[in-house]
Structure 1
Amino acid sequence: MRRFARTLGAAALAVSVVAGTAGWASADAQTAVTGPPPGSAAWRADTTTAGRPLPDPQTASPAEVAAFFAGLDAGRQRQLVLAHPLVVGNLDGAPLPLRYEANRLAVTATGKARYASLGALGRHVLAFDPRGRGQVAEVFGDLESAGHVAVIVPGSDNDAASHDAPRKPATGPAGMARALRAAAGPDTAVVAWTGYTTPVGMGLDAADGRLAEAGAARLVRFTAGLRAVGAPAPALFCHSYGSVVCGLAAHDTDARDIVVYGSPGVRADDVAGLRTRARVWAARGPSDWIADVPNVEVAGIGHGADPTSPAFGARRIPADDVQGHTGYFAPGTRSLAAFAAIANGAAR
């Protein structure tokens, strides 16, 4: 009876303190943005621009999308970008240059100041969805020619508006991606992927798996899209609640490495429970408050075992010089050096 009471107490504590990145904001429940991109109805109805039926954004696989675009000349491809920028920009498997161009058009078309910087020349926005709080994926480096690819999967309180907002250096999705690219070298492209609806603050959304499940499905499709355009199998770097997303996606993605840091758990008891061929790595700094989150899962609340525990079986990443919950990519840290070696294929 005492053990049961302790478990219930731990679960209650998990509800109150499991959170993502920086936010101690209000615990508003979020509605996950799922399904095909905006504009899909008009895309499906378009039977003239490409001279043939267009692949359904919801049901066509990224490989099928890639094959469709390979059969179009440059003029037809360009017409689709101009007619359907929100679809082309978010269509996994479409050629990368077309997606970059389409997303510049889509960002500009929103007319919203909070997104304006994403449309600047020289930025490579691989996905942009303005629905809800907004989702975005941005590439740092040359994804078309890179020998190695890394994908940053962030945690709570991240969206399209905050993706590259001013904050402490080497934190936030874009900041982590820039730091990793600089450390890993020019042959590594890094994608900052805020491609799912993240929790806000410290409410129930951060303690259960509902948003992570929706995010995992989107992450699996995104990585399949990378494969469809010939990119190398990625290393996933998954922070805080983002590690829950990666844990749920692990079985279905072809990632070569999965790195979780500042993680509340990945909804698996051990590495074997992830059912992945990827190498699994884990890091937690000595002052990261995530260590105070109970590693329990009761009635869907909490995210399970501590990935840094010996029993979990992940490869440990040195993080003794990491400060706080978001300091893993700070220049000069042992964690960043280890992350860079994983990203560029040097780690063994």
Structure 2
Amino acid sequence: MRRFARILTTVALVATVTAGTAGWASGNAQEAVTGAPAGSAGWRAAGLPDPERTSPAGIARFFAGLDPVQQRELARTHPTVVGNLDGAPLALRYEANALSTHGRYGGARVLAHDPRGRGQVALVYGDLTRAEHVAVIVPGSDTDAGHVRPLADMATALRRATGGRTAVVAWAGYTTPVGVGLDAATGRLAEAGAERLSRFTDGLAAVRAAEPSVFCHSYGSVVCGLAAHGLKAKDLVVFGSPGMRAANVTELGTSARVWAAKDPTDWIDRVPNVEWAGLGHGTDPTDPSFGARRIPADDATGHGGYFAPGTASLRTFAAIAEGDVR
């Protein structure tokens, strides 16, 4: 009977994600963009540090040994590598990405821009080198270099809620699922994203940015759950989460404080919290048994309403980012 019940639950899960709780689904599996940035073959041929094998700390040491003229020459000659090289000086990455994006993302500085696949991008609001507090927002499905507006709106809302004191990174740095389909029900894309997110936070540490609070929305919380054990973060905040591929906070293997929010109208609540045969993402992080600190979200609306002005969730997010909540 238990096996039959689990099968029924899994069938319900597949029906939910493929028929679409949001009313639609994607029929195309996404291929995760991984590995070294575009243009790395020429970079390696020039005898420069391998972008994959060299740690962000090693990249930081390499650039520290160059004078400003040499640094800028590398950014000009290899913009797609330098612009995506975790551990490289932030100002140099901004300069390199300005060459490749041509001002496409107004109002933000571009910390990463990978044109491969659907495109990946990391946008910075504020000054990462001077801000006492840093936040990184990891999005869920349907986010890429060409569809970044909802994520950018989250980032600007959080920055405003902190009075402009927190620098915020909108990190669309992994291949997200498209729609609500099997990609969203499995951890395949999240596993690739977790590696990229961990390296990104290593890069922030290498340039001496403040240890961030990481905010993870929807499928992004699956990425954060898989990355948690190696993530350099002081807080891990999930909202609208289908699960983190862990049964509880202890299984995440993180020293970060873990927080969770889900509003009563969020359709994610209708996705069964199971993990079986590779499908589903496990325990609801807002379940008391998970052990996360609960964030009030009763006045938020829907799956994307957690950053709406005036909501308890946004106020709490801002307080967490600024270290005002114990």
TM-score, normalising length: structure 2: 0.97
Q: Give the aligned residue type for 2:230.
A: D
Paired residues for 1:44-55 under 5 Å: 44-46=44-46, 53-55=47-49
Larger RCO: 1 or 2 (CA < 8 Å, sep 6+)? 1
SS at match of 1:36: coil
Q: 1:65 aligns with which of 48, 54, 59?
A: 59
Distance apart, 1:10 and its partner CA: 1.5
Give the counterpart of 1:271 among 229, 240, 249.
249
Q: Deviations over 1:174-206 (max 9, x none)?
A: 010000000013321000000000001111100
| CA contact 1:18–1:302 (8 Å) conserved in 2 | no
- Answer yes or no: is the 8 Å Cα contact 1:27–1:202 preserved in 2: no
Structure 2 portions without partners, runs of 5+: none
Superimposed CA distance per residue, residues 43-97 of structure 1 (whole angstroms, 9 cap, x where no aligned partner): 0111xxxxxx421101100001011111111110110011000000000000001
Partner of 1:251: 229
The DSSP-based 3-state class of the residue aligned with 1:158 is: coil
Q: Which residue of 2 aligns with 1:11?
A: 10
Contact kept, 8 Å, 1:62 with 1:228, in 2: the verdict is: yes
Q: Secondary structure at the match of 1:323?
A: coil
Match of 2:240 in 1: 262
The aligned counterpart of 1:338 is 316
Q: What's the offset of the Cα at 1:345?
A: 1.1
* Cross-structure match for 1:205: 183
Residue in 1 aligned with 2:147?
Answer: 162
| Structure 2 residue matching 1:272: 3-state secondary structure | helix
- Equivalent runs, 1:1-348 vs 2, <5 Å: 1=1, 3-18=2-17, 24-46=24-46, 53-108=47-102, 117-118=104-105, 120=106, 123-164=108-149, 172-348=150-326
- Taking only aligned residues, the RMSD between alpha carbons, in angstroms, comes to 1.6
How far, CA to CA, are the matches of 2:24 and 2:321 in structure 1?
Answer: 31
SS in 2 for 1:94: coil
Work out whether residues 213 and 237 of structure 2, in 8 Å CA contact, stay in contact via their aligned partners in 1: yes
Q: Given residue 339 of structure 1, which amino acid in structure 2 is its aligned partner? A: F
CA contact (8 A) 2:135 2:212 kept: yes
Contact 1:92 1:221 in 2 (8 A): yes
1:22–1:65 Cα change, 3 Å:
farther
Give me the whole-angstrom Cα distance separating, in 2, the residues matched to 1:242 and 1:24: 19
Asked if 1 retains the 8 angstrom alpha-carbon contact of 2:21 and 2:267, the reply is no
Q: CA deviation at 1:23?
A: 8.4
Q: The residue matched to 2:80 in structure 1 has which SS? A: helix
Q: TM-score by structure 1 length?
A: 0.91
Deviation at 1:21, TM superposition (A): 11
Question: How far, CA to CA, are the matches of 1:21 and 1:248 in structure 2?
Answer: 24
AA at the equivalent of 2:8:
G
User: Greater shift after overlay, 14-23 or 254-263?
Assistant: 14-23
CA-CA distance at 1:125 after TM superposition: 0.4
Q: Secondary structure at the match of 2:288?
A: coil
3-state SS, counterpart of residue 268 of structure 1: coil
Question: Conserved in 2, the CA contact under 8 Å of 1:39 and 1:87?
Answer: yes
Higher mean alpha-carbon deviation, 337-346 vs 3-12, is at: 3-12
**Letter in structure 2 aligned against 1:9:** L
What is the one-letter code of the residue matched to 1:7? R
Deviation at 1:7, TM superposition (A): 1.4
Task: Note closer, same or farther for the CA distance 1:22–1:219 as it changes in structure 2 (3 Å cut).
Answer: farther
Question: Matched residue of 1:226: which SS?
Answer: helix
Residue type at the aligned position of 1:269:
A
Which stretches in structure 1 are left out of the alignment for 5+ residues?
47-52, 109-115, 165-171
For 1:262 and 1:10, locate their aligned partners in 2 and report how far apart those are by CA, in whole Å: 20
Spell out, residue by residue over 1:127-165, the C-alpha distance to the aligned partner (whole angstroms, 9 max, x if none): 00010000000001111101011000000010000012x
Distance apart, 1:14 and its partner CA: 1.9
Q: Match of 1:137, SS?
A: strand
Residue 238 of structure 1 deviates from its aligned partner by 0.3
The 1:278/1:18 distance shift into structure 2, 3 A limit, reads farther
Contact 1:153 1:238 in 2 (8 A): yes
Moved more, 257-266 or 24-33: 24-33
Matched-pair identity in %: 66
Q: In the TM superposition, what is the alpha-carbon distance from 1:18 to its structure 2 partner?
A: 4.0
Contact 1:22-1:157 within 8 A present in 2 as well = no
Shift of 1:217: 0.2
